Structure formats: structure tokens, C-alpha cells
Amino acid sequence: SFLLLCFRTSLVAPLIFGLLLQPPLIQLSMATKPNIVLLMADDLGIGDVGCYGNDTIRTPNIDRLAKEGVKLTQHIAAAPLCTPSRAAFLTGRYPLRSGMDAINNYRVLFWNGGSGGLPPNETTFAKILQQQGYSTGLIGKWHQGINCESRNDHCHHPLNHGFDYFYGMPFTLISDCQPTETPEMDRAFRRKLWLSTQMIGLVTLTAALGRLTGLVSVSWKMLTCLAGFSLLFFVSWFSSYGFVRYWNCIIMRNHEITEQPMVTERTTPLILRESLSFIERNKHKPFLLFLSFLHSHTPLLTTERFLGKSSHGLYGDNVEEMDWMAGQVLDAIDKEGLKNTTLVYFASDHGGWLERQEGKRQLGGWNGIYRGGKAMGGWEGGIRVPGIFRWPGVLPAGIAIDEPTSLMDIYPTVVHLAGGVLPQDRVIDGRDLMPLLQGTVEHSEHEFLFHYCGIHLHAVRWHQKDSGAIWKAHYVTPIFRPLGAGGCYDRGFCPCFGEGVTHHDPPLLFDLSQDPSEARPLSADTEPLFDTVIKKIGRAIEEHRRTLTPVPEQLSVYNVVWKPWLQPCCGTFPFCWCDKEGDN
């Protein structure tokens, strides 16, 4: 028995000693509710950031986050456009589960006066953190809708989705917000409407002249009807598209409109001021700050201080200003003594917009070595984004993790850290990242990730953990124009379906661990595992589809179109104008 006791002691002693030597990081994360600061760029390409390989755009503050934290090199957006990607981020679910992915060519919310948006029955991470005693704030871009049935029901508003405080744009920044810029919204459709109006007007004018000169026998009644139709047609579309700046380019504080239209020259300093003020007001209790930058979406609002300072024109200036803003937020966290109790996360909502150009000016981002960009649901350039976490003393510093992770993973990660419980009545597609970030597990929990373009499944990624291979099968890819180009420069956006895409049977297969640029498709002749991999992915798709249930389509044509009775208005509709920031 003495020998047995000695043997047991010899086993237990090293175990206890090993536990004592464990760094305190793992226990700390469980014992405290950290502040959570989420920084999300808009349309930023993974190739635009220094710590991801860019050596010409200066991003010292984002690079500092990576140096002091964990950098994810395979961080994937759930959609290649703003509205669906952010819906997935907020809910931890693929956007088609909440009806926030497109069934048609209207792939994002188009109007503040539309009825579509993040459904009230979706539970965001903000709502759970709010229930856990957090002060929750959203500063910047929302783009998840405002109203459902009346001008002030605010059913989709941030305050109805768990945020105590909101300051920013309920919509998204577009070039129409800047009077000096060429209009961006629905540009091709608007041209068709103008052309149709001119043609109808020309027909009406010709008929009237013919009647007056006696060359055409047309009754005055018919001419009156034709003129009335011309006027009605013009008013029907110009009442919305003619006033985009007033309808969409507004700033709100909570439910109150403070600028309509927004004064773009002061938007950046006001968003920064509001962010720093939120930290100052809430420094004595746990808080969630979601700073949703308007950078680096066109029209690339950039203050005088940063204009002309980068090597990449206005786009580079804008990215460098965003980095400076991020630095101001990090400095405020340090100044308040909150650095070691704050989890900071930085990402982009999707890849850079390759086709966004005006003449010779490139106004969209760069996606590094990755193929494709914004709006492309399958190619890596549209969905692989920066992803950085920092929490000194809890997460290791200066490491990179090359495992498949998703923007949807933020949901379970922050809910877990806040002591909350994930909803049990719905599928949550995200996975808690803390074990991976802290190094207690080697692999991501994601075996498969599904890459949608609207409601159309374009590609699937399989992480074969035993071999380290990351297989990706493309079932649909966009047709690039001109041929050989890396984007759909003829359209400005790559489509999800129709004549602008190619269907692949068998699918294009790549091993991203060997070919991250997706330049060399594999075949049954060149890859012995080709058939096995395709079958495995096919079974995963069938299993995934069994988890989908029908929901109302938030991006249907009816939900997307402008409805005057839903238009937020600072004044008496249609006389909507105010500048409360200027008055202050």
C-alpha cells in the first residue's frame, strides 16, 4: 500500500504543479465580464491592412492590435454584401435563416423608407448582453432597416435589437450623400427611368404638335390622358430617386433624426466623438460598443487632415483616417485603465469592391492574393476579411491562427463571455472562439462553411482536420467581364444567378491550404481524392439544407421599394429637413 501511495503521489504532484504553472489567462476570462469593443470597417479589403501584407497603406493602430493580440488569417464573412453580412454578424446565423438574403437582384436594403429589415423575433448578441447588465451602444452604420408598418414603429431599429444607445446612419453611406459626387444608388435603373420619361414626354409632345398642326388626328382628351400619364410616371419615380440625399442620408440619435440630410463634412468627427463619449459614460460598468465605421465605403468621406496623405489616392487616405479613428478609441480605452478588461475585435463586413471606379480613380479596396471581391459569394476575395482579437492577459499576443472562422462566431463568443445563454429555439451557426484564441484547442469547430450569394449556394468549404486540407467546391461562379479581368466591370457588381453566372457540374475544386488564390482547379485526373471530397461536401449540403426553414423574405421587391408612409422625416412629410447638430 505504501508503494501504491507513492505511485499516486508521483502522478498527482506534477499535475498540481502543472496547474499552478498555468498562466492565469483562462481563469480570468471566466471570472470577469469584459468590456467588448467591436470595430467593423465597411468594404475594407483584406489586402488594405498592413498586418495582412499591405506595405503602402499605413495602418499602425490596426497593426498594433494584431501585435498585441491574435490575428485570424481565414476569417470569413457569411455574405459578400453589407445587409446580409451584418445580419449574420448580429445574429450568429446565416442570413437566409432570418430572411435577410436576396431572392432577386435587390441584395441589400435600398431605402430608409422600405419595410424590410432584421426581424424583431431575431435575437442579437446586443439583446443578450443587455439582459446580462451591459450598457450597449451602436455608433455608425446600421443598414438593417427601421420601420415595418408606420413611420415611427421602429421595429427594425437598433434600439429594438438590444442597443441602449444609437448614433449614426440607419442606412449606409452612398455617393448620393455627397452633393459633389456622381449618384451611385441604382445608377443603371435610374438611367432607364430617365430615358423612359424622355421617350414618353417626346411622344406626348409630338402628339400635341401633330394635333396643333393638324398632321395627326388625336383628341384633346387623349392628349390630356397622355400628358397626365407622363407626369404621373415622372412623379412616381422622381419622388424617391430625385431626393435620395434627403430620404437615405440621415443621422439619428436613438429615435430622433438630428440631420436630414446629413452634413458630410462633420460626420467623421461626430462619430468619433460619440464613440469616445460612450466609453467615458460607461467606464464603471461592463459595456458593449459596436463602432460600425462608415469608412471605407464610397464616397470615402475623409477630413482635410488626411486628404492627399496616402500613396493610394482618396481610398488610401480614407483607410488611414479609419485607422487613426481606431487608434483614438484604443487610446481612450488605455487612458481609462480599461485595456486589460476589454476585448477588442476588428474586422470588415466583406471584401473590397474591385469594380468601384470613377474614370481612372480606384475607389474600392484590394483583396490581396485572393480572387474576386465584394458581391461575389464564392471567391475568397469577397468573403475573406481581416479578423483581430486583443485582450491582454487573457489572449496571447502576436500570434496568427490559420483556421476557418466566421463573423458569425462573434455572437456565441461574446454571449459566453458575458455569462449569457445562447437561444435554444433556433440554429446558431457561429462557434465560440475563445478556446481557439486561447490555444486550448488546435482546430476551429467549423467543419463546413457554406458560401451564399443571395439565397443561392455558390461554394462550400470543408476543413479536413486530420489532413489539414481545406477543400473548397464552387458550384456557381460569376462570369468576369471583360474576359480575363478579376471582376464584373461591365455591370459594376457580379450577379448571383442568371446569364451572368456559370454553373459547374462537377464543381470546381480547390485545396486552399495549397492554393489560397484559387488559381489551380483540381480534377479527378489530378486529385485522387476528388470524388471522395465532392461526395462528402454533397452530403454536408443535404444535411445543411434540412436545417433551413421558410421565413418571410425581408429583401423581397415589396419590402425593398420606397414607401412614403415609412420614410423617417424630421418635419412634416414631405418637407423633411433639420440640422440639430448645427443648431447645437
| pLDDT digit string, tens, across residues 443-475 | 999 999 999 999 999 999 999 988 989 999 999
**What residues make up the domain containing 115?**
35-173+250-446+552-579
Position with higher pLDDT, 389 vs 184: 389
Tally of domains within the chain? 2
Which triple of cell numbers denotes residue 197? 420619361
In a domain, 204, yes or no: yes
- Torsion-angle region of residue 372: left (phi > 0), alpha (psi -120 to 50) or beta? left
In a domain, 545, yes or no: no
Q: Is 218 exposed, middle or buried (0-12, 13-18, 19+ CB in 10 A)?
A: middle
Question: E strands along 236-371, which residues?
Answer: 251-253, 256-260, 287-292, 342-348, 357-358, 361-362
How far apart are alpha carbons 461 and 518 in whole angstroms?
Answer: 12
Residues 293 and 402 in one domain: yes
Least confident interval from 9-13, 246-250, 576-580: 9-13
Task: Give tens-digit pLDDT for 541-550.
Answer: 999 999 999 9
Residues 208 and 70 in one domain: no
Residues 277 and 236 in one domain: no
Query: Residue 8 pLDDT more than 70?
Result: no
Closest CA to 51 of 320, 344, 293, 400: 400
Cα–Cα separations (whole angstroms), residue 483 to 98, 486, 491: 36, 9, 13
Which triple of cell numbers denotes residue 223? 392628349
CB-based contact 156:149 (threshold 8 Å): no
Residues 261 and 357 in one domain: yes
Residues 77 and 209 in one domain: no
CB-based contact 513:534 (threshold 8 Å): no
In a domain, 276, yes or no: yes
Residues 218 and 324 in one domain: no
CB-based contact 513:447 (threshold 8 Å): no
Counted residue by residue, the chain has a size of 584
CB proximity list for 314: less than 8 A, separation 6 or greater: 300, 302, 307, 361, 363
Residues 368 and 310 in one domain: yes
Q: What is the pLDDT of residue 220?
A: 83
CB-based contact 377:459 (threshold 8 Å): yes
Residue 356's pLDDT band, with cuts at 50, 70 and 90, is very high
Q: What is the pLDDT of residue 584?
A: 67
In a domain, 216, yes or no: yes
Beta strand pairing call for 287-292 and 456-464: unpaired
CB-based contact 174:249 (threshold 8 Å): yes
Q: Is 102 helix (H, G, I), strand (E, B) or coil?
A: coil
**Residue 405's beta-bridge partner residues?**
75
C-alpha torsion sign, points 232, 233, 237, 238: negative
How far apart are alpha carbons 46 and 75 in whole angstroms?
Answer: 10
How far apart are alpha carbons 164 and 127 in whole angstroms?
Answer: 9
Residues 79 and 219 in one domain: no
Cα–Cα separations (whole angstroms), residue 239 to 246, 375, 556: 11, 28, 21
Mean pLDDT along residues 308-325: 97
Contacts 24+ apart (CB under 8 A), 214-217: none
Cα–Cα separations (whole angstroms), residue 429 to 38, 95, 116, 329, 401: 19, 10, 23, 30, 20
CB-based contact 79:457 (threshold 8 Å): no
CB proximity list for 17: less than 8 A, separation 6 or greater: none
Q: What is the pLDDT of residue 32?
A: 79
C-alpha torsion sign, points 303, 309, 313, 316: negative
Task: Give tens-digit pLDDT for 484-506.
Answer: 899 999 999 999 999 999 999 99
- Cβ neighbours around 504 below 10 Å, total: 16
Kindly report the backbone phi and psi dihedral angles of residue 412, in degrees, each rounded to the nearest multiple of 5, phi listed first. Answer: -65, -30
Residue 583's pLDDT band, with cuts at 50, 70 and 90, is confident
Query: Residue 18 pLDDT more than 80?
Result: no
Closest CA to 394 of 73, 27, 18: 27
Q: Is 198 exposed, middle or buried (0-12, 13-18, 19+ CB in 10 A)?
A: exposed
Query: Residue 17 pLDDT more than 70?
Result: no
Instruction: Name the domain boundary from 220, 241, 262.
Output: 241
Q: Active-site residue numbers?
A: 82, 143
How far apart are alpha carbons 109 and 101 in whole angstroms?
Answer: 10
How far apart are alpha carbons 50 and 57 in whole angstroms?
Answer: 7
Return the DSSP state at 183. Answer: P
Return the DSSP state at 306. Answer: G
Residues 116 and 260 in one domain: yes
CB-based contact 431:446 (threshold 8 Å): yes
In a domain, 471, yes or no: no
How far apart are alpha carbons 323 and 317 in whole angstroms?
Answer: 10
Peptide bond just before 564 cis, omega within 30 deg: no
Instruction: Report helix, strand and coil shares of the chain as percent, to nearest 5.
Output: 35, 20, 45
Q: What is the pLDDT of residue 63?
A: 98
CA angle 125, 333, 286 (to 5 degrees): 40
Q: What is the pLDDT of residue 15?
A: 39
Round the average pLDDT of the chain to a whole number and report it.
93
Task: Give tens-digit pLDDT for 361-374.
Answer: 899 999 999 999 99
Q: Is 550 exposed, middle or buried (0-12, 13-18, 19+ CB in 10 A)?
A: exposed
Instruction: Name the domain boundary from 224, 241, 258.
Output: 241
CB-based contact 274:149 (threshold 8 Å): no
In a domain, 159, yes or no: yes
How far apart are alpha carbons 51 and 62 in whole angstroms?
Answer: 8
How far apart are alpha carbons 78 and 350 in whole angstroms?
Answer: 8
Residues 225 and 358 in one domain: no
Residues 298 and 336 in one domain: yes
Task: Give tens-digit pLDDT for 58-106.
Answer: 999 999 999 999 999 999 999 999 999 999 999 999 999 999 999 999 9
Instruction: Name the domain boundary from 219, 241, 263.
Output: 241
CATH value at residue 365: 3.40.720.10
Residues 194 and 295 in one domain: no
- Cβ neighbours around 202 below 10 Å, total: 11
Q: What is the pLDDT of residue 36?
A: 98
Q: Which residue has the cell 466583406?
A: 350
How far apart are alpha carbons 143 and 161 in whole angstroms?
Answer: 13
Mean pLDDT along residues 377-381: 97
Q: Is 565 exposed, middle or buried (0-12, 13-18, 19+ CB in 10 A)?
A: exposed
Q: What is the pLDDT of residue 1?
A: 43
